[in-house]
């Protein structure tokens, strides 16, 4: 009996340490792709894990919980943490270690141990989410192509060759619209996604484009001039085909992003400042007030009536979460979260009261909205009800 109990306790402790290591890596942004997948699986496995993740990524909760219990011996916790995760750390390139991060990770280890092995850590139960008769389902691959003559093609209901004009052929396969060949005349097409939709596109020059929900791109069927110009609203990710003789320019919200060949994301929704984030290569961002040159990992923020500026901190996982299929929120106010929720779930949002709290969350975009909202509600800093297609947000 004791052996079985000890074996179970050891297993729980190992799970606690592993969860703490992964969450500490999440906070420090040091996880490998494999570790990130492991953390996602662990977080979404059950409500207890979701609750623990929400609590453990809230610095105020960590500090408060430890001070209240008087259980934290920093030196011993740090040494124990080093012994536990030392093997994994040794495999990485040597780098300067911030002792505060070790201390924070040690706090996580202690909290995880309390959660798994003792009743001392008891997160408050979130109020069950009052649901509408039908839950709001996540978005899907849907888009409309508008042609110069006014015709509109619903691409989610068409497959294969959807249009042939001379040597120009439009092929719609696997949720991607591709332009092959070139017609006798250049014309402009517009691809639009509704709220709750997303789609991808391959332009005539081979440039790949991914459109987020409630977005559009206007583009020519061929790039015959000195530049390759497209106009967007909403959000799009580009992998630009290199052509040194023809710069690629994206026009959005009164600003221009210019590249030769690179990977970048542009968010230009009307209710937010335009943001351009560079993943690979180099881009220039300009408006009538000024210009910036971005290096990989940098983001330019472009207010409508002000000059561009560099974002103080950029998390590429958060920026690209919409494309990789993950809601990724780090220290995000509820208003920013709900803007994304409204676009992806085709919902309206109504606020009843002020929520002065920033959230950390990482959850699959393909879950019903109730799952995401329940995860946020586990913090007990926000509560939701759903009335038809309206999400009501209140403290």
Q: Is 125 among the domain residues?
A: no
For residue 209, count CB atoms less than 10 angstroms from its CB and return exposed for 0-12, middle for 13-18, buried for 19 or more: buried
* pLDDT tens figures, 181-208: 876 688 899 999 999 999 999 999 999 9
User: Do 271 and 181 share a structural domain?
Assistant: yes
Q: What does the alpha-carbon distance between residue 121 and residue 285 come to, in Å, rounded to a whole number?
A: 49
**Domains identified in the chain, total number:** 3
pLDDT at 64: 54
Q: Is 130 among the domain residues?
A: no
User: Do 336 and 311 share a structural domain?
Assistant: no
Q: What does the alpha-carbon distance between residue 82 and residue 85 come to, in Å, rounded to a whole number?
A: 6
Q: Which two tokens stand for residue 71?
A: 């259980």
User: Do 248 and 361 share a structural domain?
Assistant: no
User: Do 69 and 193 share a structural domain?
Assistant: no
User: Do 271 and 250 share a structural domain?
Assistant: yes
Mean pLDDT over the full length of the chain: 79
Q: Does pLDDT of 59 surpass 70? A: no
**Which residues, at least 6 apart from 194, have a Cβ–Cβ distance to it below 8 Å?**
142, 144, 213, 214, 346
Q: Is 348 among the domain residues?
A: yes
Q: Is 135 among the domain residues?
A: no
Q: What does the alpha-carbon distance between residue 119 and residue 1 come to, in Å, rounded to a whole number?
A: 21
User: Do 200 and 105 share a structural domain?
Assistant: no
Q: Is 122 among the domain residues?
A: no
Nearest to 199 by CA among 264, 135, 152, 144: 144
Model confidence band, residue 143 (pLDDT cutoffs 50, 70, 90): very high
Average pLDDT (38-45) is 76
Q: State percent of the chain over pLDDT 70.
A: 73
User: Do 292 and 150 share a structural domain?
Assistant: yes
Q: Which domain holds residue 356?
A: 329-394
* pLDDT tens figures, 349-383: 999 999 988 888 888 898 899 889 988 888 788 99
User: Do 333 and 311 share a structural domain?
Assistant: no
User: Do 174 and 65 share a structural domain?
Assistant: no
Looking at per-residue confidence, does 86 or 339 come out higher? 339
* pLDDT tens figures, 230-288: 999 999 999 999 998 899 999 998 899 999 789 999 999 988 899 999 999 999 999 88
User: What b-and-e string marks burial along 277-311, b requiring 16 or more CB atoms within 10 Å of the CB?
Assistant: bbbebbbbbbbeeeebebeeebbbbbbeeeebeee
pLDDT at 97: 34
């Amino acid at each position: 009996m004791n052996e079985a109990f000890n074996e179970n306790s050891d297993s729980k402790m190992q799970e606690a340490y592993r969860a703490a290591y992964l969450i500490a890596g999440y906070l420090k942004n040091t996880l490998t792709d494999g570790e990130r997948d492991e953390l996602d699986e662990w977080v979404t496995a059950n409500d207890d894990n979701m609750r623990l993740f929400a609590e453990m990524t809230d610095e105020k909760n960590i500090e408060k919980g430890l001070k209240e219990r008087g259980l934290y011996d920093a030196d011993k916790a740090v040494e124990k943490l080093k012994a536990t995760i030392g093997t994994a750390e040794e495999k990485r390139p040597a780098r300067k270690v911030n002792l505060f991060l070790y201390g924070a990770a040690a706090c996580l280890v202690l909290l995880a141990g309390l959660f798994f092995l003792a009743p001392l850590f008891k997160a408050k139960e979130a109020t069950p989410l009052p649901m509408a008769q039908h839950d709001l389902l996540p978005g899907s691959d849907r888009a409309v192509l508008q042609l110069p003559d006014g015709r509109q093609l619903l691409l989610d209901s068409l497959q294969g060759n959807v249009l042939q004009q001379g040597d120009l052929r439009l092929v719609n396969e696997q949720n991607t619209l591709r332009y092959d060949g070139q017609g006798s005349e250049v014309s402009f097409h517009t691809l639009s996604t509704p709220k709750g939709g997303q789609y991808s596109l391959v332009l005539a020059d081979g440039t790949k484009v991914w459109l987020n929900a409630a977005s559009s791109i206007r583009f020519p069927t061929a790039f015959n001039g000195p530049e390759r110009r497209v106009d967007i609203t909403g959000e799009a990710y580009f992998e630009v085909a290199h052509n040194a003789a023809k710069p690629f320019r994206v026009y959005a919200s009164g600003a221009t992003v210019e590249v030769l060949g690179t990977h970048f994301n542009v968010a230009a929704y009307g209710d937010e400042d335009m943001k351009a984030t560079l993943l690979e290569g180099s881009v220039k961002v300009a408006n009538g007030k000024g210009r910036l040159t971005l290096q990989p990992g940098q983001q330019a923020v472009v207010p409508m009536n002000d000059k561009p500026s560099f974002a103080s901190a950029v998390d590429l996982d958060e920026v690209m979460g919409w494309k990789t299929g993950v809601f990724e929120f780090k220290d995000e106010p509820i208003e920013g979260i709900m803007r994304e929720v409204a676009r992806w779930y085709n919902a309206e949002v109504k606020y009843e009261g002020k929520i002065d709290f920033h959230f950390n969350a990482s959850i699959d975009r393909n879950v019903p909205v109730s799952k995401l909202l329940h995860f946020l509600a586990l913090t007990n800093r926000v509560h939701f009800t759903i009335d038809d297609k309206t999400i009501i947000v209140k403290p």
